[in-house]
Structure 1
Amino acid sequence: MRVAILSGTVYGTAEDVACHAASLLASAGFETWHDPRATLEQVLAFEPQALLVVTSTTGMGELPDTFVGLYSAIRDRFPAWSGLPGGVIALGDSSYGDTFCGGGELIRELYQELGVREIQPMLRLDGSETVDQETDSQPWIADFANALRA
């Protein structure tokens, strides 16, 4: 199964988590693709059979600038991803209250519009509580791999 891993980051942590996810999923037997500067054309050329988005949150619950272009292109072109399995790993800081992991919530809304099936609950990584978000994401990524196989 081909898994496209899309990421948006501010300080690089979400990209690190995305690279770690790509490595873990590849070790689990999946064909993974991740490019932090991906265009929609590149994603479509990979012909994903599953999607994983790893994104941090900025400002008042928005997506990072590094992801806005791809997000807008997906919304504008509305690729035929209905029925694809997907997952979201959101990074944020719970001290921001209601906007905590807001970037991930925007991706979940996009999944609903596209018909992407979220196969497990979004992982929320709290930067104010964890030092190693790559390690903290590992159990969720293992569960995601198992859900993809199911």
Structure 2
Amino acid sequence: MKIAILSGSVYGTAEEVARHAERVLKLAGFEAWHNPRATLEELLAFGPAAFLGVTSTTGMGELPDNLQPLYAALRDRLPAWRGCPGGVIALGDSSYGDTYCAGGELLGELFAELGIREVQPILRLDASETVTPETDAEAWLAAFAAALQP
């Protein structure tokens, strides 16, 4: 199964989690693809059957700049991915209150608009509680991979 990993990162932490997820999913036997600056055309050319979003939050609860163009293109085109499995890993800092993991929430809402069905509840990784988010995501990634097995 082809899994597209979409990532949004400001300081590189979410991108590192996405790269780690790509390695974990490949070891689980999936064809995982991650490009932090992916265009819609590149994503469509890959032909994913499943999706993983990994993003931090910036500003007042927005997605990072590197994910904005793809997010906008997806909202404009709404590709036919109804029923495809997916999940989201959101990175944030709970000290920011209402905007904690808001970028991940936005990505989850986009997945819902695209008809991507959530196979794992969103994973929220709190920067005020962890220094190894890629390691902290491993149990969630294992469950995500298991949910994608035929």
Q: Same fold (TM over 0.5)?
A: yes
Q: Report deviation, 1:112.
A: 1.4
Aligned partner of 2:9 in structure 1 is 9
Q: In 1, distance between residues paired with 2:35 and 2:58?
A: 20
Q: In 2, distance between residues paired with 1:125 and 1:60?
A: 18
Aligned partner of 2:58 in structure 1 is 58
Query: Is 1:79 aligned with 2:79?
Result: yes
Classify the secondary structure of the residue corresponding to 1:7. strand
Aligned partner of 1:90 in structure 2 is 90
Aligned partner of 2:129 in structure 1 is 129
Return the TM-score normalized by structure 1.
0.98
Structure 1 unmatched runs, 5+: none
Aligned partner of 1:138 in structure 2 is 138
Offset from partner CA, 1:5-48 (integer Å, 9 cap, x none) = 01000000000000000000000000011111100100000100
Q: In 2, distance between residues paired with 1:113 and 1:25?
A: 25
Identity %: 69
Q: In 1, distance between residues paired with 2:114 and 2:29?
A: 26
Q: In 1, distance between residues paired with 2:2 and 2:47?
A: 7
Structure 2 unmatched runs, 5+: none
Q: Report deviation, 1:89.
A: 0.3
Aligned partner of 1:108 in structure 2 is 108
Q: Partner letter of residue 28 of structure 2?
A: A
Q: Partner letter of residue 69 of structure 2?
A: G
Q: Partner letter of residue 78 of structure 2?
A: F
Q: In 1, distance between residues paired with 2:48 and 2:61?
A: 27
Query: Is 1:45 aligned with 2:45?
Result: yes
Q: In 2, distance between residues paired with 1:106 and 1:55?
A: 10
Q: Partner letter of residue 149 of structure 1?
A: Q
Q: In 2, distance between residues paired with 1:92 and 1:68?
A: 17
Query: Is 1:120 aligned with 2:120?
Result: yes
Q: In 1, distance between residues paired with 2:38 and 2:113?
A: 21
Q: Report deviation, 1:125.
A: 0.4
Greater shift in the superposed pair: 106-115 or 15-24: 106-115
Q: Partner letter of residue 123 of structure 2?
A: L
Equivalent pairs counted in the alignment come to: 150
Q: In 2, distance between residues paired with 1:43 and 1:118?
A: 19
Deviating runs (4+, > 3 A) in structure 1?
none
Q: In 1, distance between residues paired with 2:40 and 2:128?
A: 32
